[in-house]
């Protein structure tokens, strides 16, 4: 798949820098949504994750592609498309050749040559399969690249990173697979002992690499999560507070993750006839990361008719978009656990952009939310959101009916998260001439019980991971005490230089 010399020349000529005054010697700068953290370059935001003022980093301005430039992307391989879409975001931190090399290796881990293939279910409805990565969830698309970005930047700055996280399932396995065997990164993933499914635990504990540390902790997920938070604020541990380790998270507040997700919106829309024809997307949403990447694609010039935000009964985003009321309730556990979220961290990025990019006002709005767990969107935010977003709340019955319909009418198996997106897509009332693409965020075999309940059939794991239950597991069991966990991390992590 190595591009010929003439391919690279064509790519350079089509970069937005050649058309929109982004000088190649300039750096893409990122600013915080809360206005008081220092602006950073791409390398800085990748390693920092959260901004020091508590805000989230966004590019200082959205790079733009002309219609002509988008048309010229048609027919590119996923890797070459990824290079074109992401180049403006990494300017000043990575060369085009370095970016291509990282993408080639990250997307080489996917089992489908198209990386994110499209499947047609009826005249109007399409599925974008994002689950062909190593852990069968769409989080692989971003995390496989992020793991390699960490390694690349840490080599350059001769430093080490200690990733600490708590997981109740999905993110943990995708993060572990993404950094396993990478140099200069150690990962410590806490899971509540005996409280994650066998598939999810095995996807984490059968990855054997010296830098991977699975810790089974006595107690609940919330107990494990509280220990992780405490470590980030521990003066002896966290380098940001004078401690020994450069501690980082891999959650979706990291800009680099969102950036990687912008690519598949372009990939799908180009296949559906963009820029000539508009496409709508339906996105099963939790933390608002995946669907925010769609918003970014639209800001860059991709013609998107609507972004449908699909939630389950944990519907804070649906209420916010439909009525302007962003108020957190308590989480109801559902069959789509990755969407069981009451506070969607990335929503702040949208509100900042729609509110005129006023960091001080955003900081004020978020202070109010943090104090009362509720806030009202401003008129500018509501009207801005209504131009591009629609939303829907899909309950258990709606989810099951989407799974049954797809299975009976198309012989196609949806996972519970994708089923919520698909039901929202069918209900959204998009004009029949506009294709609707639902993002399939997980392989159905990750949620066999829910799929079997709705369709009567138990999905089997793809053959490449079919030996999951024969592989040897490795994990450390620790008591539910912070000191035991901090002590373990100190013994096994590499201090920051
Ligand atoms: C993480 C996840 C989601 C939600 O994605 P966000 O970016 O948090 O909105 C949806 N489905 C699955 C399967 C996931 O793992």
Nearest atom (ligand 1) to Cα of 415: 13
Q: How much is the pLDDT for 11?
A: 41
193 is catalytic: no
pTM of structure: 0.92
Among protein residues, the one whose CA lies closest to atom 8 of ligand 1: 287
Ligand 1 atom, smallest distance to 139 CA = 15
289 CA: nearest ligand 1 atom = 7
pLDDT in the model for residue 466: 85
| Interacting residues of 7 by C-beta distance below 8 A, sequence separation 6+ | 80
Give pLDDT, residue 215: 97
User: Per the residue annotation, which of 139, 193, 278, 446 is the catalytic one?
Assistant: 139
Contact 295, 321 (CB under 8 A): no
In the reported structure, the alpha carbon of residue 17 is separated from the centroid of ligand 1 by a whole-number distance in angstroms of: 32
Q: Which residues of the chain have pLDDT under 50?
A: 1-24
Which ligand 1 atom is at minimum distance from the Cα of 418? 11
- Please compute, for residue 243, the number of CA atoms within 13 A of its CA located in the half-sphere on the CB side: 22
β-strand pairing of 57-59 with 30-32: antiparallel
Q: What pLDDT is recorded for position 6?
A: 39
Q: Using CA positions, which residue lies closest to atom 15 of ligand 1?
A: 338
Furthest-apart CA atoms within the chain: distance in Å: 60
pLDDT, position 12 = 40
What is the best residue among 196, 321, 441 to mutate for testing ligand 1's pocket, by most ligand atoms within 8 Å of CB?
441
For 455, other C-beta atoms within 10 Å of its C-beta total 18
How far does residue 284's CA lie from ligand 1's centre (Å)? 7
- Do residues 151 and 94 touch, judged by C-beta distance below 8 A? no
Number of Cβ within 10 Å of residue 311's Cβ equals 26
Q: How large is the C-alpha radius of gyration of the chain?
A: 22
Q: Ligand 1 centre from 289 Cα, in Å?
A: 8
| CA 10 to ligand 1 centroid distance, Å | 35
Measuring from atom 14 of ligand 1, which residue has the nearest CA? 338
Q: Of all atoms in ligand 1, which is nearest to the CA of residue 288?
A: 9
What lines the ligand 1 site, CB under 6 Å?
A: 137, 139, 170, 252, 284-290, 338-339, 417, 441-442
- Give me the pLDDT at residue 25, please: 54
C-alpha 15 – ligand 1 centre gap (Å)? 31
Q: How far is the CA of 497 from the centre of ligand 1 (A)?
A: 34
């Amino acid at each position: 798949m190595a591009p010929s010399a003439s391919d690279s020349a064509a790519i350079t000529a089509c970069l937005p820098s050649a058309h929109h005054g982004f000088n190649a010697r300039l750096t893409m700068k990122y600013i915080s949504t809360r206005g008081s953290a220092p602006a950073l370059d791409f390398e800085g935001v990748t390693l920092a994750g959260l901004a020091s003022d508590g805000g989230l980093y966004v590019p200082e301005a959205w790079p733009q592609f002309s219609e002509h430039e988008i048309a010229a992307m048609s027919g590119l391989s996923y890797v070459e498309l990824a290079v074109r879409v992401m180049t403006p975001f990494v300017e000043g931190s990575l060369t085009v050749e370095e970016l291509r090399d990282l993408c080639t290796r990250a997307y080489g881990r996917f089992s489908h040559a198209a990386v994110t293939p499209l499947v047609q279910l009826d005249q109007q409805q399409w599925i974008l399969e994002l689950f062909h990565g190593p852990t069968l969830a769409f989080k692989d698309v971003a995390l496989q690249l992020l793991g390699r970005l960490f390694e690349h930047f840490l080599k350059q700055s001769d430093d080490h990173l200690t990733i600490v996280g708590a997981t109740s399932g999905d993110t943990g396995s995708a993060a572990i697979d993404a950094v396993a065997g990478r140099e200069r990164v150690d990962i410590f993933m806490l899971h509540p002992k005996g409280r994650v499914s066998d598939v999810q635990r095995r996807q984490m504990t059968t990855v054997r690499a010296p830098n991977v540390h699975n810790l089974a902790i006595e107690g609940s997920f919330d107990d494990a999560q509280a220990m992780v938070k405490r470590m980030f604020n521990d003066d002896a541990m966290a380098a940001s507070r004078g401690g020994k380790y450069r501690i980082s998270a891999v959650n979706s507040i990291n800009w680099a993750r969102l950036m990687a997700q912008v690519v598949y919106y372009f990939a799908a829309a180009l296949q559906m006839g963009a820029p000539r024809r508009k496409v709508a997307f339906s996105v099963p949403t939790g933390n608002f990361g995946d669907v925010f990447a769609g918003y970014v694609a639209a800001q860059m010039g991709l013609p998107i008719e609507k972004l449908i935000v699909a939630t389950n009964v944990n519907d804070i985003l649906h209420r916010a978009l439909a009525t302007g009321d962003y108020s957190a309730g308590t989480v109801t556990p559902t069959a789509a656990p990755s969407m069981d979220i009451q506070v969607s961290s990335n929503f702040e990025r949208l509100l900042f952009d729609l509110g005129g990019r006023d960091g001080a006002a955003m900081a004020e709005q978020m202070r109010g939310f943090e104090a009362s767990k509720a806030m009202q969107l401003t008129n500018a935010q509501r009207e801005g959101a209504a131009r591009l977003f629609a939303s829907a709340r899909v309950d258990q019955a709606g989810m099951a009916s989407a799974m049954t319909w797809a299975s009976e009418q198309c012989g196609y198996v949806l996972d519970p998260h994708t089923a919520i997106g698909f039901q929202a897509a069918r209900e959204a009332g998009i004009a029949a001439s506009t294709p609707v693409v639902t993002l399939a965020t997980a392989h159905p075999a990750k949620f066999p019980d829910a799929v079997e309940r709705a369709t009567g059939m138990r999905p089997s794991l793809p053959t490449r991971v079919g030996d999951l239950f024969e592989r040897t597991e490795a994990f450390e069991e620790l008591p539910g005490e912070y000191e035991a966990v901090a002590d373990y991390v100190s013994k096994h992590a590499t201090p920051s230089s």
